[in-house]
Amino acid sequence: MYLQKCYFLLFIVIFSFSPAFGVSRYSVDEQENIRIYERSSRAVVNISNIAVNYDFFYRAMPAESGSGTGFIIDKYGTIVTNYHVVENASQLVVTLADNSQWEGKLIGADPNNDLAIVRIQAPAGSYDILKFSHSNDIVVGQKVLALGNPFGLRQTLTTGIISALGRTIAAKNGRKIEGIIQTDAAINPGNSGGPLLDSEGRVIGINTAIIGSAGSVGIGFAVPSNTALRILPDLLKYGYVLRPWLGIEPIPTVYLRRIGVDVPDGLLIARVVKGASADHAGLRGATRTVKVGRYNVPWGGDIITHINGSAVTTMEDLAQQIETRKAGEKVTISYIRQERGHSVTVELVLRPRS
């Protein structure tokens, strides 16, 4: 009886680890990771940014100035990546999963959200396509997977969770990117522009930054997919994002209070651009400057406190209320002029392309 039990246990052990019996040696979670990687990796590309330097005799000397990641989103070879991956490139070389290389053409770029669109003329059968999911459905603690080419090591997969939502980071041009996803999935130099995937292999973010410069320390950031979905149509059609604006130069009043000025919460209008939305609506900029300690402070301008009922106290608040809308939309602006509250309806117009 004892020997029979031993043989039975040995059989169970062999059965459990033998592929011949149809039982995987991998856990359910590992199987999901493998499945997503195998299904998604052919859509992920390496992007080399080739710049042109000149030698002593002014002869052009191409040199790789950096590399990053991108992913293909349609049968036309359209690639989503970060703006900083393709910035100042004289030539872009895109390497597919099959190691074939193709010249990349920059179609559109949005430095404000660190996103760009590149296109290649590769046969549709040489790559796969990734689909977007809406990032407003994601939650903290959700499993995510990051694909990319960190440190030039191609086709790398890391996993983790969503650590936080709604973060704000600075784009390379200094503008704030709002609604950023924070993850502990390892994101290293070279991962920039790669997809952040959910457990179904859908894109919920575009990896864009890490804390520090040496490598991942468990804090990485990704532009949410909803931001990409909002601006991609403009990038594909125009090459840049059509953004409405008020046409003002605002100063958050929190800065004025820090130097001793008694002023309400909001944005003080320092200047109104002639012909812009704010000008048509009759909003006023500063009429003079006053000396406060060592500072010359614009004064006499309207102070915007709310847009469509939402408080605006920062530049990010203003961008969220204005730049996410379309030209022709109307917003109600509440403001203070000479210590009295007012409101006005403003029709938004497009910001001139600089």
Please say whether the beta carbons of 162 and 179 come within 8 A: no
Cα dihedral across residues 109, 111, 113, 114: positive or negative: positive
Distance (Å, rounded) from C-alpha 177 to C-alpha 128? 29
Instruction: For residue 352, give the DSSP letter.
Output: P
Tokens representing 221 are 């950031």
Distance (Å, rounded) from C-alpha 151 to C-alpha 2? 57
From 40, 48, 67, 84, active-site residue: 84
From 40, 67, 133, 192, active-site residue: 192
- 265 part of the active site: no
Please say whether the beta carbons of 195 and 40 come within 8 A: yes
From 114, 184, 198, 302, active-site residue: 114
Q: Is residue 321 within a helix (H) or strand (E), and if so which, with residue range?
A: helix 315-322
Distance (Å, rounded) from C-alpha 137 to C-alpha 152? 32
Q: How many CB atoms lie within 10 A of CB 309?
A: 7
Distance (Å, rounded) from C-alpha 88 to C-alpha 142? 36
- 134 part of the active site: no
- 114 part of the active site: yes
Catalytic residue positions? Answer: 84, 114, 192
